[in-house]
Amino acid sequence: MSDKGKTNVSQGMSRRAMLAGGAALTGTLFMPKGLKAADYPTSAVNTTGLAVTDDTVTCGILHSITGTMAISETGSVQAEKLAIEQINAQGGILGRKIEYVQEDGASDWPTFAEKAKKLLVNDKVASVMGCWTSASRKAVLPVFEQYNGFLYYPTFYEGLEESPNVIYTGQEATQQIIAGLDWVNKEKGAKTFYLLGSDYIWPRTSNKIARKHIENFMDGCKVVGEEYYPLGHTQFNSVINKIRLKKPDVIYAIVVGGSNVAFYKQLTAAGIDPAAEKPLVLTISVTEDEIRGIGGENIAGSYACMKYFQSLQNENNLEFVKAFKEMWGEDIVIGDVTQAAYLGPWLWKAAVEKAGSFDVDKVRAAQVGIELPSAPEGYVKVHENHHLWSKTRVGKAQADGQYEVVFETADLVEPDPFPEGYQ
């Protein structure tokens, strides 16, 4: 399904909302404002045949809007469209309005690869905002590297990757995992852990890092169980019984997508109340987006370790949340990956205007060092390894579907996708 060029106000957002929300990532933040296309001739800013005209530039949006991952990826699409609306309201990029071609990865990894090739080869998009699971990212990566496309990938993931064709706007594993495990050990006295995940590369690799940290860097701590289930799995009673027998201090859960609905409902039905913290539930995969499907009453009391929660009380985030709700509805929620997806178009704009070109090689060179001091999550900066410096936070799930922030790192955590001692 293609959805090209739908960047007008009729999508549900007033000009006032666009400008108000755009303030969250503007001010003194980006490169020159109000640039005129006439000052940047198409022949000069597009030397590689991308979809750039005198008036427009086309990007791609590639996420699952159907299948088991739609519960998680819909928010990313909404955030990217909001950013595009706001950028266009301010004059676009190098004086050109952004149009987009949207494709549905359909929670199917070969489909992601097929659609990525279409976007790069047929549509000749200048960049792509896309993917959620590592399986989808791994499927499209050879396509982006073969055709020299540029992907903004928003999801927290396992690390162990540093592609010249990707900017990773979510946290890599050490940023998300280590701080959370240290927190639960220090603040909750946790010593025993049961690792649980969906059966693909991100949960398995993340739990590998978690196990190494628990066993090698946390005194007296151990893993008492580890289980994986296919994406879309809905029967967790067997593993819940195993957890009850093992009596771990912590269920470390990396269940992904729609499976979360079944897992947390069955956990509650089995008499394991997360609020009692016996065992404590710590997840790195459940954002506010997933809680909408799970139901706040089924997960209240659980903890999540991420860089962003909708409840953050800073001015930039309050403006962002306001604009998001004005565009997509008052009942909408915003999770970690949604916010990271929102950063993608802004990072692209900043790099293009720094480079004075849409050419991928020039944008890539300009991207490193870009700073977003007014991002909704707080200040972030692009590292030379294409990941972001960012803070790590722990939130406690509330019955209303939001998280209460209970911990935040004092400093930004440097991204380290190839951590020594964890591979």
Spatial separation of the C-alpha atoms in residues 309 and 237, rounded to whole Å = 30
Residues of the chain with CATH 3.40.50.2300: 2-171+312-389, 173-306+393-408
Q: Distance from CA of residue 79 to its chain's centroid?
A: 10
Distances (CA, A) of 10 to 15, 96, 188, 248, 404: 10, 20, 49, 52, 34
Q: Does residue 27 contact residue 374 with C-beta atoms inside 8 Å?
A: yes
Q: For residue 355, which phi and psi values (nearest 5 degrees)?
A: -80, -25
Residue 11 has pLDDT above 50, yes or no: no
pLDDT tier at 421, thresholds 50, 70, 90: confident
Question: Which has more confidence, 14 or 260?
Answer: 260
Residue 24 has pLDDT above 60, yes or no: no
Mean pLDDT score, 157-174: 95
Spatial separation of the C-alpha atoms in residues 307 and 413, rounded to whole Å = 10
Dihedral (Cα; 83, 84, 90, 94), 10-degree rounding: 120
Residue 3 has pLDDT above 70, yes or no: no
pLDDT, tens digit, for every residue of 338-360? 999 999 999 999 999 999 999 99
Q: Distance from CA of residue 112 to its chain's centroid?
A: 17
Beta strands in 115-191 (DSSP E): 128-130, 151-153, 166-168
Per-residue pLDDT at 243:
98
Mean pLDDT score, 187-197: 98
Beta strands in 206-362 (DSSP E): 222-229, 250-254, 280-283, 303-306
Strand, helix or coil at 228? strand
Residue 391 has pLDDT above 70, yes or no: yes
Mean pLDDT score, 145-165: 97
Q: Which residues pair with 281 in a beta bridge?
A: 251
Q: Is the dihedral of CA 240, 241, 245, 246 positive or negative?
A: negative
Amino acid symbol at 51: A
pLDDT tier at 7, thresholds 50, 70, 90: very low
On whether the pTM is more than 0.85, the answer is yes
User: How buried is residue 293: exposed, middle or buried, by Cβ count under 10 Å (0-12/13-18/19+)?
Assistant: middle
- Average pLDDT in the chain: 92
Mean pLDDT score, 366-377: 96
Strand, helix or coil at 182? helix
Residue 195: in which H helix or E strand, if any?
strand 192-198
Q: How large is the C-alpha radius of gyration of the chain?
A: 21
Q: Does residue 308 contact residue 315 with C-beta atoms inside 8 Å?
A: no
* 29-38, 75-84, 275-284, 351-360: range with lowest mean pLDDT: 29-38
Q: Does residue 303 contact residue 284 with C-beta atoms inside 8 Å?
A: no
Residue 423 has pLDDT above 70, yes or no: yes
- CB pairs under 8 A, 24+ apart, for 365-371? 367/167, 371/29
Per-residue pLDDT at 259:
95
For residue 379, give the nearest of 388, 19, 144, 387 by alpha carbon: 388
Per-residue pLDDT at 33:
58
User: How buried is residue 358: exposed, middle or buried, by Cβ count under 10 Å (0-12/13-18/19+)?
Assistant: buried
For residue 284, give the nearest of 210, 384, 375 by alpha carbon: 210
Residue 178: in which H helix or E strand, if any?
helix 173-188
Spatial separation of the C-alpha atoms in residues 74 and 83, rounded to whole Å = 15
pLDDT tier at 374, thresholds 50, 70, 90: confident
Q: Is the dihedral of CA 270, 274, 277, 279 positive or negative?
A: positive
The answer for residues whose C-beta is within 8 angstroms of residue 59's C-beta and 6 or more apart is 84, 98, 99, 100, 101, 125, 126, 127, 128, 129, 345, 348
pLDDT tier at 133, thresholds 50, 70, 90: very high
Q: Does residue 396 contact residue 280 with C-beta atoms inside 8 Å?
A: no
Q: How many CA atoms lie within 13 A of 335 on its CB side?
A: 26
pLDDT tier at 201, thresholds 50, 70, 90: very high
CATH class of the domain comprising 173-306+393-408: alpha beta
Mean pLDDT score, 63-68: 96
Residue 21 has pLDDT above 80, yes or no: no
pLDDT tier at 12, thresholds 50, 70, 90: very low
**Into which CATH architecture does domain 2-171+312-389 fall?**
3-Layer(aba) Sandwich (3.40)
For residue 372, give the nearest of 348, 395, 396, 393 by alpha carbon: 348
Mean pLDDT score, 111-134: 98
